[in-house]
Amino acid sequence: MRESIHKYFQVGTILWMSWPKADPIDALTTVCRDDYFDAIEVKSFGERNEVAKALLAQSHMKVCYGAQPRLLGPKLNPNAIDEAERLKAEATLLEAVDEAEYLGAKGIAFLAGKWEEATKDQAYAQLLKTTRKVCDYAASKNMSVELEVFDFDMDKAALIGPAPYAAKFAADMRTSHNNFGLLVDLSHFPTTYETSKFVVRTLRPYITHFHFGNAVVKPGSDGYGDLHPRMGYPNSANDVPELLDYLRVLKDEGFFNAEEPYVLSMEVTLRPGEDEGIVLANTKRCLNRAWALLED
């Protein structure tokens, strides 16, 4: 493409993935100073939220809030069959909405919890209950809620996806809440045995946010599962050709929007012994190369 990617997307990164070893405020300062990024995805800074808020306010970046760590860390499940357990997950997501608002985000993203075949339909109903409650609360603040589509049997083993099941859930949610959308991630397509074209076309009406990165899906290989290694990692699924294909699909499906650009965030993290700055630079180079190869 001759035109800049920044015309059509707000390019971002997931702070806690890109800088897992750094002090969170130092990492935030580094990203805020980097004009490659138009968006940043953050989680709680705890007692230093006030400092983070001030830095974000200076940056002129779109702030996105990821509530996934709130669920994954303490192993909370928004589709738990046990109602007391479901309510714990719901409570932390409601808190996430408040924290996101404080930090300057206009919404939150989260993921479904683990499931079992025997209770899958009940889990689906429980997830609807949680998501509707969170969407109600977010709507009162003019904020949105996004569900990230994950693998169902490889690593996270989340209730939502694969893509057709995510489409069913999103359609059910949209019957009552127009502030709900789906977040899709190139990293997860190999883990759900799907392609960019299939996922994006299946979820087309509901997608509001994009991630890209990598995954190793070859059993027995280093980094196997949903670990988001750098692009081109040994035995991994994604590199520049797969990212180029992803961008082609987004272009073909009408997601290049100069007036209201979607967030496109890189989600990569370190393998043992790797350097944060180098891995992030790797990801920028891959995105730059894929964009340069994309036909006008």
The model's pLDDT over 256-292, given as tens digits with 9 standing for 90+, comes to: 999 999 999 999 999 999 999 999 999 999 999 999 9
Give residue 87's pLDDT. Answer: 98
At 178, the pLDDT band (50, 70, 90 cuts) reads very high
Of 103, 94, 183, whose CA–CA distance to 139 is shortest?
94
CA 268 to CA 285: how far, in whole Å? 13
Which residues partner with 107 through β-bridges? Answer: 144
Give residue 30's pLDDT. Answer: 97
Mean pLDDT calculated for residue range 98-102: 98
Give residue 146's pLDDT. Answer: 98
The model's pLDDT over 240-261, given as tens digits with 9 standing for 90+, comes to: 999 999 999 999 999 999 999 9
Say if pTM beats, i.e. exceeds, 0.85: yes
Average pLDDT, the chain: 97
Give residue 227's pLDDT. Answer: 96
CA 190 to chain centre: 15
Sequence spans of domains, the chain? 5-293
Give residue 81's pLDDT. Answer: 98
Give residue 271's pLDDT. Answer: 97
The model's pLDDT over 205-250, given as tens digits with 9 standing for 90+, comes to: 999 999 999 999 999 999 999 999 999 999 999 999 999 999 999 9
The model's pLDDT over 138-167, given as tens digits with 9 standing for 90+, comes to: 999 999 999 999 999 998 999 998 999 999
Provide the CATH number for the domain formed by 5-293 in this structure: 3.20.20.150
* Percent of the chain surpassing pLDDT 90: 99
Q: How far apart are the first and last CA of the chain?
A: 5
Mean pLDDT calculated for residue range 27-50: 98
Give residue 139's pLDDT. Answer: 98
At 112, the pLDDT band (50, 70, 90 cuts) reads very high
Give residue 286's pLDDT. Answer: 98
